């Protein structure tokens, strides 16, 4: 079983195989944050897709507080280490590591970054595989990601402006073919899409067979 809590924006707390994984935990300054750093006392792994402030967020502070391992591109992991994080793993796109019984793969994302490169993550446990796409536009190799890793659950940005929007995200879902898709990176800022309604409509047309799960910040999906 996997439990996925949306922390708001692109941040998630994932409990899988008795481990707690945080992805892009931006809480401080996030108007849609489901909690604060004071509420997070346990984490085994923190995955950061890229160094923009709404993704790097509070990851360094939470690592120091919980002793979690910081995982990102080589350059971003070096940054975390220089800023006092003791346990870091820096690898690169296409690489897979095994940590705490989980297999974690870095995959490409089409976006920008100041340190390293933008990425997505594949997290594979004993019975479930998740794909967090990071900040990205739609790209044709999402089909390959789907074929290679067969994610059960995909976490995809739908907000537009900085990432793909609802239509493109639905097309991305059709390429990846997950069993479940959870939208993210929307309704945080005025320039982003403020509801998932259009995404749901487009999924019904483009990705028949994929279940859409709409979460509010703080809500949990179990599978």
Residue 162 lies in a domain: yes
The predicted model gives 94-116 an average pLDDT of: 97
Residue 222 lies in a domain: no
CATH number for the domain harbouring residue 155: 3.60.15.10
The predicted model gives 81-101 an average pLDDT of: 97
pLDDT band at residue 70, thresholds of 50, 70 and 90? very high
The predicted model gives 29-58 an average pLDDT of: 97
Sorted by sequence, the CB contacts under 8 Å of residue 200 that are 6+ apart come out as: 212, 214
Q: How many beta carbons lie within 10 A of that of residue 157, not counting itself?
A: 28
In angstroms, rounded to a whole number, what is the distance separating the alpha carbons of residues 19 and 100?
Answer: 7
Sorted by sequence, the CB contacts under 8 Å of residue 138 that are 6+ apart come out as: 164, 168, 169, 171, 172, 175
- What pLDDT is attached to residue 29? 97
The C-alpha angle with vertex 99 and arms to 93 and 102, in degrees rounded to 5, equals 85
Map tokens 């900085």 to a residue. 162
pLDDT over 70, % of the chain: 100
pLDDT band at residue 19, thresholds of 50, 70 and 90? very high
- What pLDDT is attached to residue 39? 96
- What pLDDT is attached to residue 217? 98
How many structural domains comprise the chain? 1
Whether the model clears a pTM of 0.75, i.e. scores above it, the answer is yes
Decide if 16 contacts 2 (C-beta within 8 A).
yes
Sorted by sequence, the CB contacts under 8 Å of residue 47 that are 6+ apart come out as: 21, 22, 23, 24, 71, 72, 104, 121, 123, 132
Task: Look up the domain containing 13 and give its range.
Answer: 2-217
The predicted model gives 9-14 an average pLDDT of: 98
The predicted model gives 81-90 an average pLDDT of: 98
pLDDT band at residue 111, thresholds of 50, 70 and 90? very high
In angstroms, rounded to a whole number, what is the distance separating the alpha carbons of residues 161 and 164?
Answer: 7
Question: 3-state class of 80 per DSSP?
Answer: helix
The predicted model gives 195-209 an average pLDDT of: 96
- What pLDDT is attached to residue 185? 98
Residue 43 lies in a domain: yes
The predicted model gives 187-205 an average pLDDT of: 97
Question: 3-state class of 77 per DSSP?
Answer: helix
Residue 89 lies in a domain: yes
Torsion sign (Cα): 173, 176, 180, 181: negative
Angle formed by the axes of helices 166-176 and 197-206, to 10°?
A: 40
DSSP assigned state of 175: H
Residue 200 lies in a domain: yes
Mean pLDDT of the chain: 98
Residue 6 lies in a domain: yes
The predicted model gives 44-53 an average pLDDT of: 98
Distances (CA, A) of 186 to 35, 157, 206: 17, 7, 20
Lookup: tokens for 69: 């391992």
Residue 223 lies in a domain: no
In angstroms, rounded to a whole number, what is the distance separating the alpha carbons of residues 201 and 169?
Answer: 11
The predicted model gives 187-203 an average pLDDT of: 97
């Amino acid at each position: 079983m996997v439990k996925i809590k949306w922390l708001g924006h692109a941040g998630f707390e994932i409990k899988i195989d008795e481990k707690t994984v945080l992805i892009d935990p931006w809480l401080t300054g996030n108007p849609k944050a489901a909690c604060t750093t004071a509420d997070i006392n346990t984490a085994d792994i923190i995955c950061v897709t890229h160094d923009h402030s709404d993704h790097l967020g509070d990851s360094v502070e939470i690592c120091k507080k919980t002793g979690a391992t910081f995982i990102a591109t080589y350059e971003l992991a070096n940054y975390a280490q220089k800023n006092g994080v003791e346990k870091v793993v820096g690898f690169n796109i296409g690489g897979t590591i095994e940590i705490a019984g989980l297999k974690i793969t870095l995959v490409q994302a089409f976006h920008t970054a100041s340190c390293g490169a933008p990425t997505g993550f594949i997290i594979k446990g004993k019975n479930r595989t998740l794909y967090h796409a990071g900040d990205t536009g739609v790209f044709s190799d999402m089909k390959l990601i789907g074929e290679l890793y067969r994610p059960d659950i995909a976490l995809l940005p739908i907000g537009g402006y900085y990432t793909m929007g609802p239509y493109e995200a639905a097309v991305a879902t059709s390429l990846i073919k997950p069993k479940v898709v959870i939208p993210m990176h929307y309704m945080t800022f005025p320039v982003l899409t403020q509801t998932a309604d259009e995404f749901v409509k487009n999924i019904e047309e483009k990705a028949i067979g994929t279940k859409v799960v709409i979460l509010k910040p703080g809500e949990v999906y179990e599978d």
